Amino acid sequence: MVSRARDWMKQALRDLSHAEHSLELGDYEWACFAAQQAAEKAVKALYESRNMEVWGHSISRMLENLPENLKPDSTLVDKAKELDRHYIPTRYPNFHSEGAPVDYYTKQDAERAVKYARQIIEFCRSKSV
């Protein structure tokens, strides 16, 4: 089977770029979601580069389930957990008791999400073959 690791990483980098642009535009909920997507796709690229199958959207779970020689430290997993929390509430108004996602995300949230996504992408790139 042909490896799609490069395709996953290419899209991860594109999603990171989208997150950065959304941050610049003040679209903080979209910056957080795009950062989550970027990190998720980077981790999937790592799995693919190692000929391992993975499903789901939880970045932290995927990182924790890597073989011991590929696992990141707990600090990076904690950053992934923060990105995991941006998967649904950034997009759906019915996640919160009232208000739209735009009402709940700040510049600081978006800056942190973009930073964490960058770190996870770099980690994945360092472990890919």
> What residue spans define the domains of the chain?
5-127
- pLDDT values of the chain reduced to their tens digit, one per residue, 129 residues: 688 999 999 999 999 999 999 999 999 999 999 999 999 999 999 999 999 999 999 999 999 999 999 999 999 999 999 999 999 999 999 999 999 999 999 999 999 999 999 999 999 999 987
From the CA atom positions of the chain, what is the Rg in Å? 14
Q: Which is nearest to 76 in space by CA: 58, 64, 88?
A: 64
Which amino acid is located at 94 in the chain?
N
Long-range contacts of 58-67 (CB under 8 A, 24+ apart): 58/84, 59/83, 59/84, 59/120, 60/84, 63/120
Predicted local confidence at residue 1, as pLDDT: 65
Tokens of 109: 């949230």
User: What fold is seen in the domain 5-127?
Assistant: Four Helix Bundle (Hemerythrin (Met), subunit A) (1.20.120)
Q: Which is nearest to 5 in space by CA: 64, 51, 62?
A: 51
